[in-house]
Amino acid sequence: MPDAVVIGAGPAGCAAAIALARAGRDVMLLERSPEPRESVCGEFLGPDAAAALARLGLDPATLGGAPLRRMRIGHGGREADVALPFPAWALPRRLLDGALQEAAGPALRRGTTVLGAVPMGEGWRLRTSSGEIEARRIILATGKHALRGHPREGAPPPAIGLKLHLAGVAMADAVALLPFDGGYAGLQPLPGGGANLCAALHGPPRGLPGDLLVRVRAGSALAEALLRDAHPLWDRPLAIAGVPYGFRQPAAGPPGLYRVGDQAAVIPSFTGEGVALALHSGLAAAEAILAGQEADTFHAAWRRRSAGPMRWAGLAAHVLRASPPAFAALGAVGPLARLVAARTRVAA
C-alpha cells in the first residue's frame, strides 16, 4: 500500500509527488491524460511560481519561458503601459506540466482516471480506469474538476474560462489585460511567436466561445490594435466551465484526504498566481505529511497562508470587473499592480 496516492498531475499534484518521492516516501501519481496537454490558463508565471519551481530544481527560463517586463491595460480608448514590478515569464502549460511530470519520474502513471475514492480501514480505496488501488492517504489535485463523491462544499457561483492560441499578434515582452463586456482577457506572447489569449467570463457565455476574438476586440482600442491581424491557431477555444473563483477549502474533511491546488483554493485568475498557489500548496502538503500532520491541520494552515493573497486577488478582480475605467486610469495602474503583487505573494 503506497504512503500516498496523488490524484492529478497538474502543478499541485506534481509538486506534492516530487517532494514526497524525494523524501523517500512510496508515492503514486495518477494522471488521466496520456500525455502533457494544453489547459485553460493565461500561462503567466511570476516570482512565487519561480520560487516553488526552484525548490523542485526547475526554472521557467530554461524550460523555454519568454520573459515578460511590461503590463498593458486597455479600456475603451484609454491605455496604461507600466513596467512589471517583478520578474515574470510566459510559459505554455504543455511545457510546464510536461517538465513537472518528467521530474516526478517513476511515481507517475499516465492514462489512469480515478473514478472514485472511499475510506477503508486506516486508508483509502480508489476505483480507477486501470483497477482498484489502496493507499494510506490521498492527495486530491484534480484542479477544477471535482472527484465524484468529493464536491467542494460551499463553492461560489462558477465562471467560465477560455483559451485560444493566436498567430499574427506581436506582444514583444508585454502582457496585456483586456477587460471586455462580460469578462476580461489576458494576452501574452507564446515563446515561439504568436500569443495566448485567455479569458474569464463572469456571466453567461452569450455566443462565446465562437466570437471570443470579436468580443475582446470590442472592449478597447488596445485590444483592437493588438488583435487586428490575429488568426486563431485552433478551430475553437479550449473551454472550462464551473471555475469557482474565491473558493477556499474549510479545514474539516475526511481524515487522510489532503486537498491541494484548485481543490484547496481558487484564486481569481487575473493576478496570474494560480500556478504559484498550486505548487506551494503541493509542497506544503508534502511537508505536512512528512511531519505527520493530519489533513485538517494542513488545511487550516493552508487557509491561513493563502487568506491574504485570496482576499487581495478577489478585491483587484472586483475593481477590474466593476469599474474597468477606474482600473485603466493612467497613473493608478502602476501603484495598484505593485500593491496587488506584494499582497498576493504566498512564497514563505
Ligand X SMILES: Cc1cc2nc3c(=O)[nH]c(=O)nc-3n(C[C@H](O)[C@H](O)[C@H](O)COP(=O)(O)OP(=O)(O)OC[C@H]3O[C@@H](n4cnc5c(N)ncnc54)[C@H](O)[C@@H]3O)c2cc1C
Report the interface residues with ligand X, using CB under 6 A. 7-13, 30-33, 39-44, 113-114, 141-145, 147, 161, 186, 198, 200, 240, 243, 261-262, 269, 272-276, 278
Record the cell numbers describing residue 258, joined without a space: 489532503
Cell readout for 202 is 463572469
CA dihedral 102, 57, 107, 92 (to 10 degrees): -40
Minimum distance from residue 261 beta carbon to ligand X (Å): 2
Residue closer to ligand X (CB basis): 246 or 292: 246
- Cβ-based nearer residue to ligand X, 28 or 222: 28
Cell matching residue 39: 489547459
**How many residues in total does the chain contain?**
348
Nearer to ligand X among residue 208 and residue 243 (C-beta): 243
Closest distance to ligand X from the beta carbon of 7 (Å): 5
Q: Least distance to ligand X from the beta carbon of 323, Å?
A: 21
CA distance 135 to 126: 8
Alpha-carbon gap, residue 168 to 164, rounded angstroms: 13
Q: At closest approach, how far in Å is the CB of 145 from ligand X?
A: 4
Residue 234 CB-density burial (10 A; 0-12 exposed, 13-18 middle, 19+ buried)? exposed
Q: For ligand X, give the closer residue by CB, 148 or 228.
A: 148
Identify the CA nearest to 97 among candidates 32, 2, 160, 188. 32
Of 311, 322, 295, nearest to 344 (Cα)? 311
Q: Which residues neighbour 272 within 8 Å (Cβ) at sequence distance 6 or greater?
A: 42, 44, 45, 46, 88, 175, 186
Pairing of strands 183-189, 66-75: unpaired
- Report in angstroms how near the CB of residue 269 gets to ligand X at its nearest: 3
Taking the least distance from each CB to ligand X, the nearer of 112 and 220 is 112
Q: Which is nearer to ligand X, 241 or 330 (CB)?
A: 241
Instruction: Name the nearest CA neighbour of 100 among 25, 238, 8.
Output: 8
Q: Which is nearer to ligand X, 82 or 133 (CB)?
A: 133
For the CB of residue 275, give the shortest distance to ligand X in the complex, in Å: 3
Rama region for 261: left / alpha / beta (φ>0; ψ in -120 to 50; rest) = left
Q: What is the CA radius of gyration of the chain?
A: 20
Q: How far is the CB of 115 from ligand X (least distance, A)?
A: 7
Which ranges of 252-294 does DSSP label H, i.e. alpha helix?
274-290
Beta carbon nearer to ligand X, 75 or 144: 144
Q: How far is the CB of 265 from ligand X (least distance, A)?
A: 9
217 or 259: CB nearest ligand X: 259
In angstroms, the CA 260 to CA 127 distance is 20
In this structure, the dihedral spanned by the alpha carbons of residues 235, 76, 189 and 38, taken in order and rounded to 10 degrees, is: -40
We find the least distance from the C-beta atom of residue 280 to ligand X, in angstroms, to be: 11
